[in-house]
Amino acid sequence: MHRRIGIQLALILCLGATVFTGKAHAQSIFGFKVGEDFKVAAKAHPRPSDMEAQGAFAVVKWDLSSGNSVSVTASPQTGRIVFIESDWGGDPTSAVTEAPGLKFGATTLADIRQKFQSNGFGFRSNAVQVIGEDLVSINCYQIDGDPDLIAVFVTTLPIKDVPTVAGKPKPDTGRGHLDAVMLASLAYLKETWGEDRIFDAAHHPVAWK
């Protein structure tokens, strides 16, 4: 059974100190682009499903008829979008993502590594973690031509399916399946997830195609 992965801070409007500026990028999720004015872009979309305030933060989320959901994070200083997340609802008929060639629940981490010819990079704070009964991996790739634009792929593997070798778990098998896709400003990710990153030696900018 699919379990929705609640990545902390993924659905919030951050009220931090960093000011995010810049132009809108070409890549999009649910018609939203990193760098564009959120209020302007939101006019072309239905009313959000949830705009609940949580302390210093506010959640802006769309629950889609497919069972999937999309959330958008904007800078409170500039109003520009800094983070977009698309989460799978678990229905195989709604598995197509806006990352070309990748499907929720079907594409594996090994497939992602093969497509982009590297393991990308991760933030030390959350690159691999256990959430509930799943092992969650978060792999990031810089989009070619946009130093501040990052594609983020969240894959999950049930703990019970993690293979063992010589009696020890071997979690990095690439068997986890795609559960969420994000586009984000690198500056925002550093503000939220920290500066400390882990890079694959083969990491390089990739094309969103």
Domain definitions of the chain by residue range: 38-199
Tell me the two tokens of residue 134: 């799943």
If residue 112 lies in a helix (H) or strand (E), which one and from where to where?
A: helix 109-116
Residue 11: pLDDT over 50? no
Rounded to the nearest 5 degrees, what angle is found at the Cα of 130, between the Cα atoms of 129 and 135? 90
- By C-alpha distance, which of 151, 202, 160, 208 is closest to 178? 151
The pLDDT confidence band at residue 19, using thresholds 50, 70 and 90, is very low
Q: Is the pLDDT of residue 4 over 80?
A: no
| CA-based torsion, 145, 100, 113, 199: positive or negative | positive
State mean pLDDT over 53-76.
79
DSSP tag of 24? P
Give the Cα separation of 179 and 175 in Å (integer). Answer: 12
* pLDDT above 90 for 175: yes
Q: Which residue do the tokens 């509930």 mark?
A: 132
Lowest mean pLDDT segment, chosen from 8-12, 37-41, 112-116, 176-180 = 8-12
Distance CA(110)–CA(188), nearest Å, equals 27
Task: Tell me the average pLDDT across 14-36.
Answer: 69
Does the pTM surpass 0.85? The reply is yes
